[in-house]
Chain A
Amino acid sequence: MGQKAPGASEGSASRAEIEAAIEGLSPADAERLRRSADSRAAGLKGLGLGVCGDDLLQEAMGLALEGTRRWPKGVRFVTYLLQLVRNVAGHLARRAMSRLGIPVQDQAVVEVVMSGDPDCLVPTAIPDPERLAAARETTGRIKNKFAKDETVSLIIEGWETDMTGPDIKRELELSQNDYETAVTRLRRGARSLEE
């Protein structure tokens, strides 16, 4: 067992174990981490925060090493880090929404429980007209790409209004397989727009 990080308990991983987990990342897990962080960062731009996926990943890693919520044994490292990225993004979103006077209704944001202090990550504030124009441009590109794919276009509309997968499937009368296939098309198409 390696040296414990400060605040680490018997049920949490040591720094050495965290470092070993970084070295053991698979290409798929790295893709998962990067794309999730990039996506959440793109969403934060919609709320006027100039932050990139790398910033969120670094902040999450900082919390893993120095925050109060350690990597619990028995949980996959990637799952744990993805949750920290979600927490950091949720925390920033809540602050941005408060500044913009937007009521916090999104459960993903409401349920955020921070495990450390994310205040060292200070994103650039994007002025409101620029924020809205950039958001229109980003979603416009994705919608254009799928303009001829009715199912994906409707899924995009649903996601934009916080509809869940089961709600969308029910509203569109889609089978699980049809929904998953359409989401895969969307995810893959959006990936090509990210590069």
Chain B
Amino acid sequence: MARVKDDGERLHAFANAMADSVEAASDEQLLLDARSAGVDPNHTKSHVQQLLRGAVKASKQRRLEQAQAEYKSSLAAFCAATAKIPAQRAEQRTLLMHVFQTHPEIRSVTLQHREFSEMTDSDVQTLLKQAEQLGLLDGLDNMEDGE
């Protein structure tokens, strides 16, 4: 036996059928509907366009905020990753030398045929950052004795 709909459900069903009818109506019919109700279709057009433009703008804003959040997050990760690298260039070289001593295989790959003294400060910093990302600086925090 079919269940009896309450008044709200009946309105829901009616309104959906009305929406379907609107969607299926021809352009001419819809424009006539509007004009017979005293509505200017151009006004409706402006309203709908403004609404949709607003949604586009909000979406762009959300994407921008998301990109900013991702940038901040990656910047924080970078800062955290370089936290173990000393600020002074001499100490950076000492640390890298220590890494090479601890991991000779890294030395052969990175230096190849160059001498350690030939490396620029920038090379040293880059290698230390890579070593940090590989976890090679872990456990070297207490290297104050200049090993």
Nearest residue, chain B, Cβ from A142? B14
- The number of residues on chain B lying at the interface, defined by a beta carbon within 8 Å of a beta carbon of chain A, is 49
Q: Which of A1-56 contact B (CB under 8 A)?
A: 6, 15, 18-19, 22-23, 25-37, 39-40, 42-48, 54
Residues of B within 8 A of A31 (CB): 30-31, 33-34, 41, 44-45
Indicate whether B17 reaches chain A with its CB closer than 8 angstroms. yes
Looking at the assembled complex, report how far the CB atom of B33 sits from the nearest CB atom of chain A, in whole angstroms: 5
CA distance A93 to B13 in the complex (A): 11
Indicate whether B74 reaches chain A with its CB closer than 8 angstroms. no
Task: Please tell me if the beta carbons of B7 and A57 are within 8 angstroms of each other in the complex.
Answer: no
Main secondary structure of the interface of B (DSSP, over half): helix
Indicate whether A139 reaches chain B with its CB closer than 8 angstroms. yes
Indicate whether A111 reaches chain B with its CB closer than 8 angstroms. no
Write the B2-13 contact mask toward A (1 if CB under 8 angstroms, else 0). 010111111111
Task: Please tell me if the beta carbons of A48 and B22 are within 8 angstroms of each other in the complex.
Answer: no
Task: Please tell me if the beta carbons of B7 and A132 are within 8 angstroms of each other in the complex.
Answer: yes
Looking at the assembled complex, report how far the CB atom of B115 sits from the nearest CB atom of chain A, in whole angstroms: 48
Q: How many A-B residue pairs have CB under 8 A?
A: 179
Task: Please tell me if the beta carbons of A40 and B25 are within 8 angstroms of each other in the complex.
Answer: no
Task: Please tell me if the beta carbons of A46 and B22 are within 8 angstroms of each other in the complex.
Answer: no
Q: Which of B15-29 contact A (CB under 8 A)?
A: 15-19, 21-23, 25, 27-29
CA distance A95 to B51 in the complex (A): 26
A22-B56, A184-B29 in contact; A161/B13 too (CB < 8 A)? yes
Residues of B within 8 A of A132 (CB): 6-8
CA distance A28 to B143 in the complex (A): 76
A35-B22, A36-B19 in contact; A28/B10 too (CB < 8 A)? no
Indicate whether B76 reaches chain A with its CB closer than 8 angstroms. no
Task: Please tell me if the beta carbons of A43 and B48 are within 8 angstroms of each other in the complex.
Answer: no
Task: Please tell me if the beta carbons of B45 and A26 are within 8 angstroms of each other in the complex.
Answer: yes
A184-B29, A187-B33 in contact; A46/B11 too (CB < 8 A)? yes
A135-B8, A159-B18 in contact; A43/B37 too (CB < 8 A)? no
Residues of A within 8 A of B77 (CB): none
Task: Please tell me if the beta carbons of A135 and B10 are within 8 angstroms of each other in the complex.
Answer: yes
11 pairs from A and B in contact (CB 8 Å cutoff): A22-B56, A32-B22, A32-B30, A35-B19, A35-B22, A43-B19, A47-B9, A66-B62, A131-B8, A136-B7, A187-B22
Chain A: residues with CB nearer than 8 A to chain B?
A: 6, 15, 18-19, 22-23, 25-37, 39-40, 42-48, 54, 57-58, 61-62, 65-66, 82, 86, 89, 93, 102-103, 105-106, 108, 131-132, 135-136, 138-139, 142, 156, 159-162, 183-184, 186-188, 190-192, 194-195
Q: Would you list the 3 A-B pairs with minimal beta carbon distance, nearest first?
A: A43-B15, A46-B11, A28-B27
Chain B: residues with CB nearer than 8 A to chain A?
A: 3, 5-19, 21-23, 25, 27-34, 36-39, 41-42, 44-45, 47-49, 51-56, 58-59, 62-63
